[in-house]
Chain A
Amino acid sequence: MAPIVEMRDVTKRFPGVLANDRVSFSLNQGEILAFLGENGAGKSTLMNILYGLYSQDEGQVEVRGQPVDIREPNDAIRLGVGMVHQHFQLVPVFTVAENIVMGTEPTRLPFSWRSMGLASGVLALTFLLGGVLTLGSWSQGLLAALGGGLAMAGLYGLVILLGLLSRRGFRVYFPVVALASVALLVALALVLGGAERIPLLVVLAIGFAAVSHPSLNVLTTALDRQTAAHRIRHLSQQYGLAVNPEALVGDLPVGVQQRVEILKTLYREAEILILDEPTAVLTPQETDELFVIMRALTGQGKSIIFISHKLKEVMTIADRVIVLRGGRLVGQAIPSQSSEAELAEMMVGREVALVVDKGTASIGDVVLEVSGLTADDSRGHHVLRGVDLFVRAGEVLGVAGVQGNGQTELVEVLTGLRPATGGSVRILGQDVTNALPRRVTELGVAHIPEDRQRDGLVLPFPIVDNLVLCTYYQHPFAQGPVLQFDEVQEFGRRVSAEFDVRTPSIILPAQTLSGGNQQKVIVAREFSRPIQLLIAAQPTRGLDVGSIEYIHRRLVQKRDEGVAVLLVSVELDEIMALSDRIAVMYEGHIVGALEATEATREGLGLLMAGAGQSREKGGVTVG
């Protein structure tokens, strides 16, 4: 089959970095091509070049055998390239249909035959009103209405005809409309004559602006929304993307929002879809659904580029895998003829331990004890409905479960960030139910938050300031209210070296770091003070294989030092690899608890899906 996209020797330099170094590849029609690589390997840069967000320094891009020059996303869209970004580009307060149509409506919707009729009608009505009011005579008003309506219809017709004749669409003819409107006004002024007609002219001008300016064109877009919704329904049926076009995007789960993004590209008639780490934000179920959709798309002739750093997913879905490392293409593979270990080694450049190496736990006293804990989420729903669990020193308790079953809120309540409505939390024998976050921290609790950019870091602040976010007020970083600048710097340098935070300088803002290094900053901060209990929520979300290995090793090291570890994760593999005991959360309860040695993927999966719910409460209490 002929390649639909071919990139040859593409090189892209950023100041101080060679992001892509002579990368060549081709994408065949109807194929799912996976790009595998660590964070910063150059996958996203390459795709941004194809999508026109960056331009390459060297190399050629060919689409359907033709050399192309993609300067901006609009060029890419015209060539049938669509991109779904890792961070969705959706407006939460708009409906699905509005989000999908957004960006296309001013060029397409106002300039249709129907909107011509509407615009002419509205203008004629305005002219009639304006004529009657300012001239005081119905006959004059009718005459003005007739003239105005005809003029508008003529203008619109002209624009539409020009648009039909042109390949570039209607956008080019906005200046024509603007110029024509000015000419029309001047002509009207000459015909009607005299300064006393100025009020009329003003009314005319406002009327014309209202019907011809796309951003003011509320009526026509409102009408065309129906056509849009119809097309969206058609598309979602065709590809099995179940979405309600009238729903508000902000109310939809992440997985459905992603479908909206895919629909957005399909609406723009994309043939080549780039999915940039689409599974990073999805639950396992949503990921499976996405894969079904991807198969449906390729089944109907679309081609997909799938960017990921998750080996398992790539092995499952891809027809072909390209591995990038350090901006260079280091290998290609067909999943059925390769293995995860082989790909991981290609990706990282050395042998990677996919299995966490840990000895048997030497278990101590109970550190964290939670009983009957209840809490509400921000919208007032009861998300924790009586959670009982305990964690002992020197063991890892893994809390598995599908995202949104109360894990987030559980961690927040334990760390004092969310009030409990009932039950109790005891840490090292002390009651800390509804204690302030600082008290919890000072008891020796470390917290790796689920959303590192929202809760764990102050992105505009220097790395070093982020390293003392929880301890800045303690000796030796402060004496009374005075920050000890030198001590803080010294600590920052030492710790960032110890935890291998890769940055040119610790005074650079934390937002300059890659995701893996941002997580290392948090780990460095939390592990560099004496702790008894570690609460880690999704500690490896969005990280590459190398960083995951690193974080896992550090977690096990803490456990071996006698720290009690509560690990909350939606990655079943992570839970199974690290935990000594596993608890499964479902709809705000712990529905099952077992020793890690007894756990199987299937068993846990059933519990996560709610199969253990009918069991008696006494039987499911952990331990």
Chain B
Amino acid sequence: MAEPGTSPKPTFRHLVTALPRWARLALAAVLLGVILAVSKWLVLVLLVALGLWPLVLLLGLLALAAISARHGGWPWMRDRLTSRLSGLVVPVLSVITALLIGAIILILTDQAVYRAWGEGRVGAGLGAGMANLVRAYAALYQGALGDPIRILGAIGYWLNGDGLQPLLNSVRGPSDTLVQSVPYIFAGLAVALGFRGGLFNIGAEGQIGVGWLAAVLVGMSFSGLPAVIHLPLAIVVGAITAGLWAAVAGFLKARTGAHEVITTIMLNYVVFRLSDWLLCGPLEAVRGTCRTRDILSSAVLPRFLDHPVTLHWGFVLAIAAAAATGWFLFRSTWGFELRTVGANPNAARYGGMNVAKNYVLAMFLSGCLAGLAGVSQGLGITRNIALGFRSGYGFDSIALALLGKSHPVGVVGASLLFGVLRAGASRMQSVAGIPTEIVQIVQSLVIIFIAAPAIIRALYRLRQARRDEAEVVVFSRGWGA
């Protein structure tokens, strides 16, 4: 999602639209080729930028200031900033507050603190607690966004001509963050799309499993297929299988009125138990492992860079899926129908839309997106599917859709936040010995604060936004509605 509006270029747009169709296609193909060729470097730049985000922010502000000089200086810039960023105030404060409460919990659960207090050394106890806290949060930050000093050093090293490896090592944090956010983006989009269609899809967890399993099955078969066919085939089969699985719930709702919350929960159990049997039974590769064979190399979602940067093409797919979902929902007639059915099925019928068809379609697309979360994990990370594949992405995704106000851009933002927390959590556990559960607490608090912005507004004495915020989204209607 490029920054729209910072420098509108109508002239360029006119130039492109003036070209004949074949020329535009050719141009797009050339552009795609160039991007593919330099993708490795683009990704590296992205990771470095993430690691050095304060610097990037500063540069951005400077650039904006430079532009504002032409438009009347500070007032213009202030309006621009407030109009673009006012929606971010509550989320950012929510994260900060959640981290503060997390810090209190960290200190309160620290055994060293109690040991010192038990010996009557209150000051020393608090000191130990604080030291532990700093260690934990430093690890959290570095695990998620890397160490900026180290990144700068590694860039210098590379400019000196001494190799890329130190730089790769230093951007491992940002890479982990993006890798963690990939399934979140897909699953969050799935639930958000369902919400827009008036459906509460709780079955993302199961649909992830279906997509994962189907993609891995295709990935292990068809030996000899070239990657250009094998990989897309595995992706598409994974997505569509999950979509069809989810469409069952849509079909039941459209035909019999069965509430999708019930059916998707129950379909989850069917997936969980069936996969238990499949993975420890017919599909088990080595007895006792409850895991399938690995997929063939032609079906692997390739990585951009060498170890330890594990970022793979699934990330690009996820961003593309977000853009496609946004386009579908807000710029296509199908999306218009889907949103209308979601917001007011009576008016949809009045407008000549087929409500039943749209329920099935919404569940199918939602399932496809959820399935892609599993596909990206299966083909990009684990390269097989094992009994413990359920890691809560499906259920977290409900919170993501709520955080992102069921808008693709919001979902991507929320997913990146969760990616940061999840990537940081594992490092915090390994380096500072703090259990990842602390981060889960922080995650939950963030959701609570964003879901109830009144808390944050009251805490920080924020004024209510002048216009009522985003459009009202119907998350789900009553039971049996």
Contacts and interface: CB of A to CB of B under 8 A. Distances in A.
B333 A460 contact: no
Contact of B347 (A441, A442, A469, A482): A469
A449 B350 contact: yes
A454 B351 CA distance: 12
A460 B352 CA distance: 19
B340 A458 contact: yes
A146 interface: no
A481 B332 contact: yes
B414 to A, nearest CB: 21
B347 A437 contact: no
A454 B334 CA distance: 22
A437 B349 CA distance: 7
B346 interface: yes
Interface string A441-468: 1100001010000111111111001000
Contact of A456 (B350, B471, B473): B350
A441 B344 contact: no
A132 interface: no
A417 interface: yes
Contacts of A511: 472
B477 interface: no
B472 A509 contact: yes
B336 interface: yes
Contacts of B472: 460, 509, 511
A469 B351 contact: yes
Contacts of B372: none
B474 interface: yes
Interface stretch (A120-128, A470-478, A567-575): A470-478
Contacts of B471: 460-462, 509
A133 interface: no
B352 A458 contact: no
Given A437-B352, A470-B352, A482-B331, A15 B466 contact: yes
Contacts of A478: 333
B343 interface: yes
Given A437-B352, A449-B350, A459 B344 contact: yes
Contacts of A437: 349-352
A46 B21 CA distance: 62
B473 A473 contact: no
A450 to B, nearest CB: 11
A456 B337 CA distance: 15
A465 B353 CA distance: 14
A465 B336 contact: yes
A430 B350 CA distance: 20
Nearest to A477: B333
Question: Which residue among B335, B346, B353, B472 has the maximum number of chain A CB atoms within 10 Å of its CB?
Answer: B346
A471 to B, nearest CB: 9
A198 interface: no
B352 A438 contact: yes
A485 B350 CA distance: 22
Given A15-B466, A456-B347, A482-B331, A436 B340 contact: no
Interface string B312-343: 00000000000000000001111111011001
A473 B333 contact: yes
A483 interface: yes
B346 to A, nearest CB: 5
A442 B352 CA distance: 9
A458 B332 contact: no
Question: Which residue among A458, A469, A482 has the maximum number of chain B CB atoms within 10 Å of its CB?
Answer: A458
Contacts of A461: 339-340, 343, 471
Nearest to A469: B351
A478 B334 CA distance: 11
Contacts of A456: 347, 350
B349 A469 contact: no
B212 to A, nearest CB: 30
Contacts of A415: 350
A15 to B, nearest CB: 7
A510 to B, nearest CB: 10
B347 A481 contact: no
Contacts of A473: 333
Interface string B453-470: 000000000000010000
Nearest to B347: A458
Given A472-B336, A478-B333, A481-B334, A455 B343 contact: no
A483 B352 contact: no
A461 to B, nearest CB: 6
B332 A482 contact: yes
Contact of B350 (A15, A447, A459, A460): A447
A417 B353 CA distance: 11
Contacts of A470: 350-352
Contacts of B353: 438
Interface in A467-507: 469-470, 472-473, 478, 481-483, 485
Question: Which residue among B340, B349, B351, B471 has the maximum number of chain A CB atoms within 10 Å of its CB?
Answer: B351
Contact of B343 (A436, A441, A442, A458): A458
Question: Which residue among B336, B348, B352, B471 has the maximum number of chain A CB atoms within 10 Å of its CB?
Answer: B352
B334 A457 contact: no
Contacts of B340: 458, 461, 469
A454 B346 contact: yes
Contacts of A509: 471-472
Contacts of B333: 472-473, 478, 481-483
A13 to B, nearest CB: 14
A462 B472 CA distance: 11
A457 B347 contact: yes
A341 B464 CA distance: 44
Nearest to B353: A438
A441 B352 contact: yes
B332 A417 contact: no
Contact of A417 (B334, B336, B350): B350
Nearest to B466: A15
Contacts of B348: 458
Interface in B331-384: 331-337, 339-340, 343-344, 346-353
A483 B332 contact: yes
B288 to A, nearest CB: 46
A539 B353 CA distance: 23
Contacts of A458: 340, 343-344, 347-348
A489 B346 CA distance: 24
A78 B332 CA distance: 55
Nearest to A452: B347
Interface string A3-45: 0000000000001000000000000000000000000000000
A447 B350 CA distance: 9
A60 B210 CA distance: 67
A437 B473 CA distance: 26
B464 to A, nearest CB: 10
A454 B345 CA distance: 9
Nearest to B352: A438
A470 B335 CA distance: 14
B352 to A, nearest CB: 3
A426 B337 CA distance: 28
B336 A455 contact: no
A468 B211 CA distance: 37
Given A460-B472, A478-B333, A417 B343 contact: no
Interface in A54-83: none
A483 B332 CA distance: 5
A449 B346 CA distance: 11
A234 to B, nearest CB: 36
B351 A485 contact: no
Contacts of B344: 454, 457-459
A436 B352 contact: yes
Given A465-B336, A478-B333, A460 B346 contact: no
7 contacts: A455-B350, A460-B343, A461-B343, A465-B336, A470-B352, A483-B335, A509-B472
Given A437-B351, A481-B334, 10 more contacts: A417-B349, A437-B352, A438-B353, A447-B350, A454-B346, A458-B340, A460-B343, A469-B350, A483-B336, A485-B331
Top 3 A-B residue pairs of the complex, sorted by shortest distance between their CB atoms = A438-B352, A469-B351, A460-B472
